Amino acid sequence: MKKLAMLAAACICLMQISVTGVFAEEKTIQIGALYPISGNLALMGEESWRGAEIARILRNRQGGVAGKQIVFRQGDASTNSAARSETERMIEQDKVKAILGTYASSRCMVASEVAARKDIFYFELGAIANAITQRGYKTVWRTCPTSLDFCRGQVNFIINWLAPTLGKKANEIKVGIAHEDGEYGTSVANSFATLAKKTGLQIVSVEAYSNTSNDLSSVIFRLRKAAPDIVVAVSSSQDAILLSRQANELGLNIPIMGTGGGHSFQSFADGLGPQANGVLNVDFTQYHVNTKYTPGLEEFVKLYQETFKHFPRAGSSLANFMGANVIFNILEKTGGSFDPEKIRKVAMAMDIQPGHTATGWGVKFDKEGQNVRAECLVTQWRDGKLVTVWPKKFAVMEPILVK
């Protein structure tokens, strides 16, 4: 009898937990948050997640979405295979109807395909490979710029600032490319090479390498032999530091221009010290920018510091903050519904002009789900700070040429 009583009590307890769980779900909006929060991309993945988390905290303080509080179901895209399995887990076990993320292009390509095949809404807030929104999936959307957008920013800067500064014509400028050999690096490098050739820039060297390499001296030697006027680098966190450090050690005395990634993180400047001074970077909106065109940025920074006890480490958190808010606004207009057709209708109707979000981007999606009003800015490391230098309306300093 005692065992039966204990079994009955346990069953009642489980029923109460189940009812409580159902009740909790009815009062919340459940969204999957998929980022690399362990492994070699953890630093950038966590910083990206932090931006979405700040958006979630702020929106919940304001009443949530459709009267419901937003809850993130966390997934760790530590590798490509983990991105796949975590996406499947969140959909099958956590029952999420939408996923946001992912920072890393290779992880996003895998995860968004899984979601699309299950008709699950997938919003990419930080990965930039062109192919993400070129596969015909109707439930995949992206709020941030593409690798082609990054390259447009670089080419524009090289033609309109670097060439005149060096006293050369655009077709006299020689460019070297150094890139990590993953989806991110390859996509950007190919986009830049194609666009540069169309505009008359000379590509004199293209060097691919593993982002786990601990020696890039061979890359530096080949670049030095090609004698470019500038090196466009596409790097993750540690290899960005290594590339610049060995460039200084081996006498590659030319400007380096990053493409987001590792060149945008405070750890880059901390790791290089004075050697970081003058390194350029084309990227998402950073924090030292003309805030006239970035409403909400200062509020974001304040809440970030309150939550994580230090200044944001890179603009990827701001980009994810902006993108998460776009998702929340869409879901507000669908009444909290995750129906793909309703979401598509609302998303396609969005029409926000540039200068009206925290990143300064506007919002207008094309038929492939890409936000065509996301713009890249040129920044430069100056005395430990990544300051905006181009275009002029966003700039807080003039660019300088440091060799």
The helix or strand, by DSSP H or E, that contains position 105, with its residue range, turns out to be: helix 105-117
Separation between Cα atoms, residue 52 and residue 57, nearest integer Å: 9
| C-alpha span between 214 and 377 (Å, rounded) | 30
Whole-angstrom distance, CA of residue 99 vs CA of residue 27:
19
Domains and their CATH numbers in the chain: 9-145+295-372 (3.40.50.2300), 148-283+378-394 (3.40.50.2300)
Mean pLDDT (whole number) for 322-328? 98
* 22: pLDDT strictly greater than 50: no
Q: How many residues does the chain have?
A: 403
Q: In terms of C-beta density within 10 A (0-12 exposed, 13-18 middle, 19 or more buried), how is residue 254 classed? A: middle
Distance in angstroms (rounded) separating the CA atoms of residues 230 and 313: 26
Confidence at residue 11, expressed as pLDDT on a 0 to 100 scale:
46
Phi, psi of 272 (to 5 degrees): -100, -20
Report which of 51, 28, 178 is spatially closest to residue 102, judged by C-alpha positions: 51
Per-residue pLDDT tens for 288-299?
999 999 999 999
Distance CA 295, CA 304 (A): 16
Of 50, 114, 115, 103, nearest to 77 (Cα)? Answer: 103
DSSP 8-state symbol, 363: B
Mean pLDDT of the chain: 92
Is pLDDT above 60 for 19? no
Confidence of residue 403 (pLDDT cuts 50, 70, 90): low
pLDDT digits (tens, 9 = 90+) for 156-205: 999 999 999 999 999 999 999 999 998 888 988 999 999 999 999 999 99
With bands split at pLDDT 50, 70 and 90, how would you rate the model's confidence at 400?
very high
Percent with pLDDT over 70 in the chain = 93
pLDDT tens-place string over residues 86-134? 999 999 999 999 999 999 999 999 999 999 999 999 999 999 999 999 9
> pLDDT tens digit string along 363-384?
999 999 999 999 999 999 999 9
Residue type, 383: D
Q: Is the pLDDT of residue 55 over 60?
A: yes
Q: Which pLDDT belongs to residue 25?
A: 53
Q: Given pLDDT bands bounded at 50, 70 and 90, which one contains residue 15?
A: very low
* Per-residue pLDDT, 237: 84
Say whether 395 sits in a helix, a strand or coil.
Answer: coil
**What integer pLDDT is reported at residue 187 of this predicted model?**
84
**CA angle 317–322–326, rounded 5-degree value:** 140
The pairing of beta strand 98-101 with beta strand 121-124: parallel
Residue with tokens 């990227």: 283
Q: Which residue has the higher pLDDT, 26 or 78?
A: 78
- pLDDT tens for each residue of 226-274: 999 999 999 988 999 999 999 999 999 999 999 988 999 899 999 999 9
Interhelix angle 297-308/315-333, nearest 10 degrees: 110
Measured between alpha carbons, how far apart are the two ends of the chain, in Å? 85
Q: Distance from CA of residue 381 to its chain's centroid? A: 19
Beta strands across the sheet bearing 98-101: 69-76, 28-35, 98-101, 121-124, 140-142
Examine the pLDDT at 2 and tell me if it is beyond 70: no
Helix (H) or strand (E) holding 338: none
pLDDT of residue 356: 97
How far apart CA 123 and CA 171 sit, in angstroms, is 39
Cα separation, 92 vs 115, in Å, equals 11
